[in-house]
């Protein structure tokens, strides 16, 4: 579709949605929307104002050739919202149009922020993953396009419901992006095509590593008593399985996802191990979170191929953070360092040496940032009115994370199918929570939270 036709479609869409809004108002329903029907401006609401939400909003505003404004923000923490607003305002100027009356705080803030948008605008969802399902559901009801950060789910029941919502969103022609930016890495896109075309032969095994020092809120000291235990857990969401799947899901999902993409399949089962080595802070205070600090997972595909994942969060150890694919005709470096580190490359044989190099990626300078690419691709799909949904692959990538984590935490071989169909749900009723709600996991009398006990607790993680 030409740019002129896409622009015309957008103008017609804005015109029609303006008529719908007017009809709704006549019906007596008061909706606090921000109107821009006279131009092609896409309006955005940010739900979740932490570091990733701030980054996603900045990427949205920097899509070239498209007028985009941030018009509403929501979070459960007023200070996070304020800090994010200050950063974005300084960086993006007039593209940030979020006065106090469109800054919302609380567990229902996401609804108020989305209510400021028109059908066809975009909701960014960057809260801890446990909240993704109700936020996605509400955005669909408002006919909004969506950008959701990963992971999407932490257990089987929410994964099944998320897949149902994916079909509902597609039936309404909504465009939904998921923040698995590796799939928008131009080097990896070219590598995936070459691997799928058979350039390294049949994949026999893959290796993925994220072995670094502690990151984000992987470890937590005892709850200080304020804010509430629930809000404190949300602020330390990487430390709690209910909130995020723990650090496993958040940290390892990219390398798991892009390896499965290269294989063009998802694992059918996994076995794993892990352990807790350092259980005190450098100051000697005890850590009370639910994470292991080492993980090693063997993912098994239907044809017998293996993906070996090693993860570690320990200071002072070797930094190993990359991924590889090995095939019957050669091998590939998927990511040189990091989640999608350039260049990707292919080699004769199994040694990644210069003399064996067959192909190495080269990328135009304006497409080297996969975080920006994923936004450019989403906006391009919206303007061109093309089907666009990354939800199903996002759910399966999240479930692959759940699979490895559950196998490590229970010490059992776990089936992807069984875990997806499990009734074990870690944060039921989350859509009804308020600022006064109790935390779904409680500390004991000494301030410690329940931790996985492989071989002892085998049907749940804690």
Top-tier CATH class for 185-366+397-432:
alpha beta
Domain with CATH 3.30.360.10 in the chain: 185-366+397-432
Q: What is the mean pLDDT of residues 171-199?
A: 98
CA angle 190, 191, 192 (to 5 degrees): 90
Residue 196 has pLDDT above 80, yes or no: yes
Beta-ladder partners of 377: none
Mean predicted lDDT score pLDDT of the chain: 92
Joined tokens for residue 443: 């500390």
- d(Cα 187, Cα 336) in Å, to the nearest integer? 11
- d(Cα 277, Cα 42) in Å, to the nearest integer? 49
Top-tier CATH class for 3-182+373-388:
alpha beta
Residue 34's pLDDT is 53
Beta-ladder partners of 326: 205, 331
Q: Of 20 and 198, which is predicted with more confidence?
A: 198
Residue in the block written with tokens 């669909």: 140
β-bridge pairing 269-275 and 414-415: antiparallel
DSSP 286-328: BP--S--SEEEEEEE-TTS-EEEEEEEE-TTS--B--EEEEES
Residue 278's pLDDT is 79
Per-residue confidence band for 28, with pLDDT thresholds at 50, 70 and 90? very low
Q: Are 363 and 342 in contact (CB under 8 A)?
A: yes
Residue 125 has pLDDT above 60, yes or no: yes
- d(Cα 185, Cα 89) in Å, to the nearest integer? 28
Cβ density class 382-413: b for 16+ within 10 Å, e for less: bbbbeebbbbbbbbbbbbbbbbbbbbbbbbbe
Residue 13's pLDDT is 40
pLDDT by residue (tens digit) across 182-192? 999 999 999 99
Residue 14's pLDDT is 42
Residue in the block written with tokens 């607003």: 85
- d(Cα 16, Cα 12) in Å, to the nearest integer? 6
Domain with CATH 3.40.50.720 in the chain: 3-182+373-388
Per-residue confidence band for 11, with pLDDT thresholds at 50, 70 and 90? very low
The CA distances from residue 397 to 10, 328, 392, in Å, are 32, 26, 9
Specify the pTM. Answer: 0.90
Q: What is the DSSP letter of 204?
A: E
Q: What is the DSSP letter of 147?
A: E
Helical (H) or strand (E) element with 210: strand 203-212
pLDDT by residue (tens digit) across 202-254? 999 999 999 999 999 999 999 999 999 999 999 999 999 999 999 999 999 99
Q: Are 80 and 106 in contact (CB under 8 A)?
A: no
């Amino acid at each position: 579709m030409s740019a002129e036709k896409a622009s015309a479609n957008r103008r017609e869409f804005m015109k029609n949605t303006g008529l719908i809004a007017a009809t709704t108002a006549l019906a007596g329903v008061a909706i606090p929307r921000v109107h821009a029907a006279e131009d092609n401006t896409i309006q955005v609401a940010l739900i979740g104002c932490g570091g990733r939400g701030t980054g996603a909003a900045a990427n949205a505003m920097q899509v070239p050739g498209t007028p985009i404004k941030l018009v509403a923000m929501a979070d459960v923490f007023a200070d996070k919202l304020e800090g994010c607003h200050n950063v974005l305002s300084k960086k993006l100027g007039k593209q940030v149009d979020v006065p106090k009356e469109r800054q919302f705080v609380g567990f229902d803030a996401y609804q108020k922020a989305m209510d400021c948008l028109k059908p066809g605008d975009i909701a960014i969802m960057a809260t801890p993953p446990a909240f993704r399902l109700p936020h996605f559901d509400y955005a669909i009801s408002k006919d909004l396009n969506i950008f959701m950060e990963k992971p999407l789910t932490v257990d089987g029941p929410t994964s099944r419901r998320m897949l149902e919502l994916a079909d509902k969103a597609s039936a309404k022609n909504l465009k939904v992006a998921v923040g698995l930016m590796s799939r928008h890495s131009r080097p990896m896109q070219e590598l995936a095509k070459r691997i799928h075309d058979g350039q390294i032969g049949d994949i026999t095994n893959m290796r993925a590593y994220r072995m670094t020092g502690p990151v984000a809120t992987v470890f937590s000291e005892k709850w200080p008593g304020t804010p509430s235990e629930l809000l404190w857990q949300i602020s330390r969401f990487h430390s709690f399985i209910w909130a995020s799947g723990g650090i496993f899901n958040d940290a390892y999902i990219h390398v798991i996802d892009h390896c499965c993409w290269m294989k063009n399949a998802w694992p059918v089962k996994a076995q794993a191990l892990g352990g807790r080595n350092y259980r005190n802070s450098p100051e000697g205070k005890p850590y009370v979170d639910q994470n292991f600090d080492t993980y090693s997972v063997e993912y098994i595909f239907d044809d017998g191929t293996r993906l070996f994942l090693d993860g570690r969060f320990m200071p002072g150890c070797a930094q190993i953070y990359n991924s590889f694919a090995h095939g019957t005709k050669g091998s590939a470096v998927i990511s040189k360092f990091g989640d999608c580190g350039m260049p990707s490359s292919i080699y004769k044989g199994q040694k990644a040496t210069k003399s064996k190099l067959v192909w190495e990626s080269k990328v135009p300078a304006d497409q080297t940032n996969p975080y920006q690419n994923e936004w450019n691709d989403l906006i391009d799909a919206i303007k061109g009115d093309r089907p666009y949904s990354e939800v199903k692959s996002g759910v399966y990538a999240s479930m692959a994370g759940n699979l490895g984590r559950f196998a490590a935490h229970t010490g059992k071989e776990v089936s992807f199918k069984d875990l997806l169909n499990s009734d074990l749900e870690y944060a039921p009723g989350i859509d009804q929570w308020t600022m006064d709600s109790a935390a779904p996991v409680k500390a004991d009398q000494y301030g410690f939270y329940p931790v996985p006990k492989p071989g002892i607790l085998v049907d749940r993680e804690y």
